[in-house]
Structure 1
Amino acid sequence: MPALPEKWVLLVDGEHIQDPSTGNWFPGPRTEIEWTGLLQQRQLSAASVDAGNTEFLDGHVVSSYVLLLDPGIPVTPDRRDQFRGPDGLIYEVEGKPRPRRPARGSRRLAYIAANVRCVSDIKE
């Protein structure tokens, strides 16, 4: 039974296809894998720039997010993989997602934590 409430979709690129007329390669159709998770915004602090947030002007910081995923996802997300959130926005994985276990008690996997950033420019 899933523990996390939001519906997410992992967007997996298909095999690259070569255009016969130009010889250029382009990604094939994406496979969508539905899963459950929870998006959390990292807390901003005085050390927020060091904690993974991006400062693009003095005093202007873009927050980073952590996507918690229920364990058991059939395809483990990797760097640059993308998720579509319940709000329709696209989030890109930054770094390698990490499995997390409870600090005490069971050694069973509790969730998978992935640092993500919003890459959607425009809402449709």
Structure 2
Amino acid sequence: MKLRERWTLLRPTDPVADPSTGNNIPGDPDEVPWTGLLQQRLIRPPEQEDLGDGVTVSELILLLDPGLPGGTNRRDVWRFDGPGEYADIVPVGGKVTVQGTPRVRRPARGSRRAAYIAAIVRHASDMD
């Protein structure tokens, strides 16, 4: 199964020193391009929470092609890179954060090779 959406894993890097204050600040993340599919199917409600002033938080499922170097884990951040016709849930350039531990899923019958990686993610409309 080949998933059609382009995603980028934003892996954190070591902090760097701010030249003006000397404090550590987050460095630019390493970007790992990958493919996946974002879905709005969660069994338990609420799928979307309205925080007021037009801000919403949605819990979604991100399916990723298996074989990601280094895998994905709790609290990883993924950026949606398109294509634009699939931007009805999260806009192009929008980010989602993994909640919990992603799981490798295998077909119920046949091959025992990994079919995809499933991760529950959160998207906040004010964090793009």
**Band of TM-score, shorter chain:** 0.7 to 0.9
Measured at CA, do residues 71 and 122 of structure 1 come closer, stay the same or move farther in structure 2, by a change above 3 Å?
closer
SS of alignment partner, residue 108 of structure 2: coil
The letter for the 2-side match of 1:10 is: L
2:82 counterpart of 1:82 = no
More strand by share: 1
> Partners in 1 of 2:27 and 2:57 — Cα distance?
32
For residue 92 of structure 1, report the CA deviation from its aligned partner. Answer: 0.6
SS of alignment partner, residue 26 of structure 2: strand
The letter for the 1-side match of 2:78 is: F
2:12 counterpart of 1:7 = no
Measured at CA, do residues 77 and 43 of structure 1 come closer, stay the same or move farther in structure 2, by a change above 3 Å?
closer
Measured at CA, do residues 43 and 94 of structure 1 come closer, stay the same or move farther in structure 2, by a change above 3 Å?
closer
The size of the alignment, in residue pairs, is 114
> Partners in 1 of 2:127 and 2:96 — Cα distance?
13
For residue 21 of structure 1, report the CA deviation from its aligned partner. Answer: 6.0
Q: TM-score, normalised by structure 2?
A: 0.75
> Partners in 1 of 2:124 and 2:116 — Cα distance?
23
* Paired residues of 1:90 and 1:120 also in contact (CA < 8 A): no
> Partners in 1 of 2:127 and 2:79 — Cα distance?
14
Q: Which runs of 5+ in 2 are unaligned?
A: 83-91
Q: TM-score, normalised by structure 1?
A: 0.77
The letter for the 1-side match of 2:65 is: D
Aligned positions of 1:1-124 closer than 5 A? 3-19=2-18, 22-43=21-42, 47-49=44-46, 53=47, 55=49, 62-85=57-80, 86=82, 87-121=92-126
- Name the larger-Rg structure: 1
Identity between Structure 1 and Structure 2 (%)? 53
State the structure with bigger RCO (CA 8 A, min sep 6), 1 or 2: 2
